[in-house]
Amino acid sequence: AGLELRAGLVSCIYDKILTSPNQSPSSASIVNLVEVDVVRIQDFATFAHAIWSAPLQLILAMVSLGLILGWQSTLASALSVVAVTPLYYCCKHFIEGYQIAAMGRRDARMSLTSEALSNANLIKLWAQESLMEKRLDAARRAELAVSESIVWVSTLLNMLMRGAPTLISVVAFMAAVVAGNPLRSEHIFPSLVFCSLLVYPLALLPIAVSSWAACAASYARVRAFCAELGAEEVPSPRGDSALPDGVSIYFNKVSFRWRETTDAPTLLKISFLVGEKQLVALVGPMAGGKSTIAKLALGSLKPLGGLVATRGTIAYTPQDPWPTTGSIRENILFGRDLEPAFYNAVVKACALDRDLEQMPNGDDTQIRSHGSGLSGGQKSRIALARAVYARADVYVLDDPLAAVDSQVHRHLVDNVIGPRGILKDKTRLVITNSAAVCSYADQVLQITDGRLRDIKTSSPQLLGVPDQVHIIDNPDLSITVANPDEEANDQSDSGEENQNLENLAADNNDESSLSLSSGRISFSEYRRWLGIAHVWRWSLMAFFTGLAFASNIMSTYMLKIFADRLGNGLVMRALEVYAAAGVVQTLMCCISLLLGWYLCLKPTSNRIHGMLVAGVLQAPLSFLQRTPTGEIMNRFANDLARHDGPLFASIFGFLNSLLRAIASLGTLLAFVPSSAVAIVALGGLGWWLQCRCLGVLVQTRRLETSSRSPLITNLQETLAGSDIIRIFGRQPYFQTRNFTNLRRNLTAHMAFVSVELWLIFRLSLICSLLQGLAAAFLLAGRVDTSAAGFVMSYMLQLATSFTQTVLLRTQVECDMVSAQRIFSLVDTETEKPPQSDGEALARSQIVAASWPSRGTVAFRNFSAGYSYNYRDNNNDNNPVLRDINLEFAPGQSTAIVGRTGAGKSSLALAMLRVLQPIRGRIEIDGTDITQVDLDVLRSRVSIIPQNCGAFAGTVRTNLDPNGVHDESDLLRVLGDSLFARGFKTPQAALDYPVLQGGSNLSAGQLQLLAVARCLLIGSNIVILDEVTSAMDEANQQLLHEALQTQLRDKTVIVISHHLRSAIDNGRIIVMDGGAVAEIGSPKQLFQKGGIFRSMAVAAGL
């Protein structure tokens, strides 16, 4: 039932993702729902029968007490249970409330973790690891603060469970004494046996109640999630009846705004139509609403007013391509049948044939999470090939040419988008600033300030002339006008495709960056885990647990002594001693539980999370790019949750069961020493069975845990691409993928449960045999009645305690798999070589606070690679930079150009020690950067990477996360960077809310925000990596002029493929094959001839 529940709920959540708006749920909440909430609902199925069976066992035990002690004892016992029961349900109510609060805190932590992984490049390049560690640590502490409340309520529940048997037995005995019924050994110890039988149901009942509370809280979250997404489901705009004949896309007075509190709509009553087989280009300024129009046409957004309708099937390429985990062929086919001839034609038309020839396994090359290992241009072309292969009626292409170089740009226009392309008979709405596309377009639409303008070519004769576009009635339209061979709009080159191919080769040789261990958990791993909270703390917890059981044995033994020597008149005194010992036992158990939390679990959980965060944030970028996000998130979700709860519960339960078993066997040995042979033989058999199953159980748990990663990765990918899946109509294909991943996970879980049940059955047989032998030994030894009752009162608990001891020992080992998986991530490679505190301090103090004051950068015979394995520094066989000798003078602006894979971005990243030096060195202001602390280096050298992101919060928190700058400085840089131009006032821009990943900002706005941050820091060395790649030409020119003013005294290094902007710099460096090929002023290089001249001629300069 539990497996069926889990399968059904995961499928339900997945189906809701497929039918929901792409921006509704967060990735972190999805992971928590599947990895924590659904698992808790599944776990409740294990304890569900305890809700009715535990009370039934209580009733049967109390009736048996009545038969021995009289009906008065039954009545008194029943009243005791009735008095205690409301306290159980009060605890359940509080636990449920705290569980909901804890899940909310866990959602917040997971959301922040997901954001950190998504923006790992920004965190590392901007030296924000410490800041993010503090934020994650604060989120973790807030989560554990709620867990602390749960521990206190659970302690109260445990106190009720421990004290209830003593309370019931004392009340039953007192009722018998008051009623005048005899109370001798033959009455006391059988009664104690039935009271001891109450331990299991009373122990199980609070666990079942807690599980019920957790299940109810988790079910409420799942239900709310599904209800919320069901309410927000966006209807498709497709409706042929609303369309005029010959029209494929129809907008009639459509308005839209992104935020309901915004005064001005993003779109204001726009109307247009796209005829069948027409090519329509949609142009406009950055953040003008172009992508919004596309999403409205696709049905991903609901208009504020007006009508949107389309005819026929739709294919779509987003501005940010969405590759899925799998092979390149699977990404293109997207679940459709392979038609070799058409497939090859699509691959060739999308200029992928040459890429596939260079890849290690051709189109069977595996793509990692987020498409790591592929350049931006490759991802864009794969997305375009996917759309073309779909053979749709209508194509909505959102800036499909922005990430390709000039030759590929022309190839795609001629062979895919243009009038002679493979889509020539399809309806095409293309968002672009490409002059070539606009020249071929039947219609050019411009969106400005929320209004749409219809721009037409002046005469049909201009069609087919790609180097010129004539615009009517709007001289201010910003369109990139270029020769067809110009190297423009290429934002993939800085991805270094040579490096990408090497990464792909490595990825396809390695199944996973985090290997799956095998065999049992080693003693060293136990010692490492126990040592985090210090062994003496665990020993102290065990000591108090032992005191609890010692007091229990002593109290029972006191009853035996009183029963032998005293009459009925002094039994009340014996009951007082027995009750006092029961109180001591209960208090010792509660103290042990609280000590376990405060001294052991809480500090261990804090440190484990801190180690996990540090392991991820200190890992090289290459590791984070090649490791599936789902694999890392699984550590922060399921593994950490299992560490916090089940692992500690298993250890505490094992300790209790072990002591109870020792007490049972010890009493038998004390009175019947001859039973030692049987105890050793049967105990050895049980241990042998446990050892035989332990390895299998641990390995099946590993398989079950590791099989969650593909499930989570697929869920996250589906969430990110739910729009695309819906538009292409591939829901059944992805539902099948989800079912396959889920089935593998459930199969591993079923194997684990089957082996566990196999072990339970055999242990139960051993316990039954041992109890029978104990009774035989007592009879053969002619032990007196009181002693026999005393021994059997413990032996009848043996079946439960012995079985639980072995099972919980196994469970501890299985739950330690989560700790082992966490340690595997903690122990990954690191950017920083191991160093002592003294070395770290020396590195941080090696440079002055004003360093670098001049901004001089010098490369001295420098070669580097991407490996960060400090145990093996031999990267000579795979350098990406070779024998670089360069100097950048203070205040000089230098452009780095070169063809794809030439090493341009690698040169910039080397200055931030993202690459590992092989030989030579880099000096900044005369200081070797390897001698400078990595955080100091990256905080003093500013870089604006090509792919900019943002963190949830506001523009203010993104600009100044530490809150150390004056507001006037923040407003100034927002104005200087042009970011504030899109808002009414700079103050409105500063307080503007930013969603996770900056999803409510355009790509150009994200780049401007990064520019503002760079200006705020005021570094003397600034690296600009395709900083205007996502902007229209007008904004590019404005920003270029602003940066020339703001950075005139800085050392500026510009990575660019736009030769028109590159020649504005005083010096040009041409890279080729990871080496410096040419260097000089633009005029000198052009006159000299060579690579730069050929590039300039191709660009029409």
pLDDT tens digits, one per residue of 967-985: 999 999 999 998 988 788 8
Mean pLDDT, residues 1022-1048 taken together: 83
Higher pLDDT, 531 or 1014: 1014
Please provide the size of the chain in residues.
Answer: 1101
| Spatial separation of the C-alpha atoms in residues 627 and 507, rounded to whole Å | 9
Q: pLDDT-based confidence at 941, cuts 50/70/90?
A: very high
Question: pLDDT, tens digit, for every residue of 640-698?
Answer: 888 887 888 888 888 888 887 887 777 777 777 877 888 788 878 888 888 888 888 88
Q: pLDDT-based confidence at 517, cuts 50/70/90?
A: low
- Which of the residue ranges 89-103, 859-873, 1014-1028, 1038-1052 would you say has the lowest mean pLDDT? 859-873
Q: How far is CA 689 from CA 74, 337, 653, 702, 764, in A?
A: 41, 50, 20, 20, 12
Residue 387 identity (one-letter amino acid): A
Residue 139: per-residue pLDDT:
93
Which architecture characterizes domain 247-454 according to CATH? 3-Layer(aba) Sandwich (3.40)
Residues 6+ apart with CB under 8 A from 288: 447, 448, 449
Mean pLDDT, residues 273-301 taken together: 87
Residue matched to tokens 């890849």: 359
Residue 833: per-residue pLDDT:
60
Neighbours of 869 (CB within 10 A): 12
Residue matched to tokens 């290690």: 360
Cβ-contact 1005, 945 below 8 angstroms? no
Q: pLDDT-based confidence at 470, cuts 50/70/90?
A: very low
Residue 288: per-residue pLDDT:
78
Tokens of 821: 């998986």
The helix (run of H) or strand (run of E) holding residue 192 is: helix 185-197
Distance of CA 1025 to the CA centre of its chain: 28
Q: pLDDT-based confidence at 238, cuts 50/70/90?
A: low
For the entire predicted model, the pTM comes to 0.73
Is the bond leading into 852 cis (omega within 30 degrees of zero)? yes
Residues 6+ apart with CB under 8 A from 1014: 942, 944, 1022
Residue 382: per-residue pLDDT:
93
Cβ-contact 499, 910 below 8 angstroms? no
Question: pLDDT, tens digit, for every residue of 246-255?
Answer: 889 999 889 8
Residue 1053: per-residue pLDDT:
93
619: region left, alpha or beta (phi > 0 left; psi from -120 to 50 alpha)? beta
Q: Output DSSP code: residue 396.
A: E
Residue 836: beta bridge partners?
Answer: none
| Spatial separation of the C-alpha atoms in residues 463 and 457, rounded to whole Å | 8
Q: Output DSSP code: residue 236.
A: P
Q: Which of 1092, 1086, 1050 is nearest to 1069 (CA)?
A: 1092
Residue 77: per-residue pLDDT:
81
540 burial level (CB within 10 Å; 0-12, 13-18, 19+): middle
| Spatial separation of the C-alpha atoms in residues 889 and 1051, rounded to whole Å | 7
Asked whether the predicted pLDDT for residue 239 surpasses 80, the reply is no
Residue 624 identity (one-letter amino acid): L
Q: Where are the alpha helices (DSSP H) in 857-949?
A: 904-910, 934-940
Q: Which of 648, 822, 588, 645 is nearest to 147 (CA)?
A: 645
Query: What superfamily does domain 837-948+1013-1099 belong to in CATH?
Result: P-loop containing nucleotide triphosphate hydrolases (3.40.50.300)
Asked whether the predicted pLDDT for residue 879 surpasses 90, the reply is no
Residue 506: per-residue pLDDT:
42
Largest Cα separation within the chain, whole Å, is 121
Q: How far is CA 904 from CA 318, 363, 911, in A?
A: 27, 27, 12
Q: What is the CA radius of gyration of the chain?
A: 35
3-state secondary structure of 445: strand
Residues 6+ apart with CB under 8 A from 818: 638, 639, 640, 642, 643, 647, 705
Asked whether the predicted pLDDT for residue 834 surpasses 60, the reply is no
Neighbours of 1064 (CB within 10 A): 15
Residue 394: per-residue pLDDT:
94
Tokens of 991: 């307080």
Residue 901: per-residue pLDDT:
65
Q: pLDDT-based confidence at 468, cuts 50/70/90?
A: very low
Q: Where are the alpha helices (DSSP H) in 232-339?
A: 290-298, 328-333
Domains 247-454 and 837-948+1013-1099 share a fold: yes
DSSP codes joined into one string, 762-823: HHHHHHHHHHHHHHHHHHHTT--HHHHHHHHHHHTTHHHHHHHHHHHHHHHHHHHHHHHHHH
Tokens of 1017: 């820091």
Cβ-contact 268, 450 below 8 angstroms? yes
3-state secondary structure of 606: helix
Asked whether the predicted pLDDT for residue 510 surpasses 50, the reply is no
Residues 6+ apart with CB under 8 A from 700: 748, 751, 752, 755
| Spatial separation of the C-alpha atoms in residues 201 and 194, rounded to whole Å | 12
Phi, psi of 897 (to 5 degrees): -125, 170
Q: Output DSSP code: residue 570.
A: G
Residue 474: per-residue pLDDT:
33
3-state secondary structure of 283: strand
Q: What are 652-655's contacts with CB under 8 Å, separation 24+?
A: 652/541, 652/545, 652/592, 652/593, 652/596, 653/804, 653/808, 653/811, 654/804, 654/805, 654/808, 654/809, 654/811, 654/812, 655/541, 655/542, 655/545
- Which of the residue ranges 132-141, 375-384, 604-613 would you say has the lowest mean pLDDT? 375-384
- Which of the residue ranges 68-77, 460-469, 749-758, 928-937 would you say has the lowest mean pLDDT? 460-469
DSSP codes joined into one string, 945-1007: -SS----SEEHHHHH-TT--S-HHHHHHHHHHTTGGGGSSSHHHHHT-EE-GGGTTS-HHHHH
Mean pLDDT, residues 1011-1025 taken together: 92
Residue 465: per-residue pLDDT:
31
Q: What is the dihedral of CA 822, 600, 205, 658, to 10 degrees?
A: 100
Q: Which of 479, 387, 464, 458 is nearest to 428 (CA)?
A: 387
Asked whether the predicted pLDDT for residue 502 surpasses 50, the reply is no
| Spatial separation of the C-alpha atoms in residues 1058 and 1064, rounded to whole Å | 11
Q: Which of 9, 416, 406, 17 is nearest to 223 (CA)?
A: 9
Question: pLDDT, tens digit, for every residue of 170-192?
Answer: 888 888 878 877 777 677 777 77
Q: Which of 1097, 1062, 1100 is nearest to 1082 (CA)?
A: 1062
Asked whether the predicted pLDDT for residue 773 surpasses 90, the reply is no
Residue 740: per-residue pLDDT:
92
Residues 6+ apart with CB under 8 A from 107: 26, 28, 29, 32
Q: pLDDT-based confidence at 844, cuts 50/70/90?
A: low
DSSP codes joined into one string, 313-378: -EEEE-SS----SEEHHHHHHTTPPP-HHHHHHHHHHTT-HHHHHHSTTGGGPEE-GGGTTS-HHH
Residues 6+ apart with CB under 8 A from 964: none
Cβ-contact 240, 276 below 8 angstroms? no
Residue matched to tokens 């070799």: 340
Residue 466: per-residue pLDDT:
32
Cβ-contact 304, 467 below 8 angstroms? no
The helix (run of H) or strand (run of E) holding residue 611 is: helix 602-617
Residue 25: per-residue pLDDT:
60
Q: Output DSSP code: residue 636.
A: I
**So where are the chain's domains?**
247-454, 837-948+1013-1099, 951-1000
Q: pLDDT-based confidence at 196, cuts 50/70/90?
A: low
Q: Which of 374, 366, 380 is nearest to 322 (CA)?
A: 380
Residue 788: per-residue pLDDT:
73
Q: Kindly report the average pLDDT of the chain as a whole number.
A: 80
Cβ-contact 27, 114 below 8 angstroms? yes
Question: pLDDT, tens digit, for every residue of 317-343?
Answer: 988 888 888 899 999 999 999 999 999
